[in-house]
Amino acid sequence: RIVFQAEVQFAAAMPRKRWLDGYLWLRRQAAHPRIHKIEMGIFRDYGHMFRLTRVEELDEDLVDLLHEAYILGSEI
């Protein structure tokens, strides 16, 4: 497991043999074709689970969500 942290953890990645499982935290529920599960956290934030099987699946919209998660992780 690889954890990405600014002031607090904002994303994680778990490399698998044939894909990459990812997790990011946002203050809202976001929609994206790669997000397959959303969990509500303790502090009214939402954990978003996604899976990438090819590098091309890391599109601009998913990068924007990761950037939003980074900003949230930097605010504390």
| Tens-digit pLDDT string for the chain (76 aa) | 999 999 999 999 999 999 999 999 999 999 999 999 999 988 788 999 999 999 999 999 999 999 999 999 998 6
Cα gap 70→57, rounded to integer Å: 20
DSSP H or E segment with residue 68: helix 60-74
The structure's pTM equals: 0.91
69: amino acid identity, one letter: A
Distance of CA 31 to the CA centre of its chain: 12
Sheet with 9-15, strands from edge to edge, namely: 2-5, 9-15, 20-26, 46-52, 35-40
Look-up of token digits 């698998």: 16
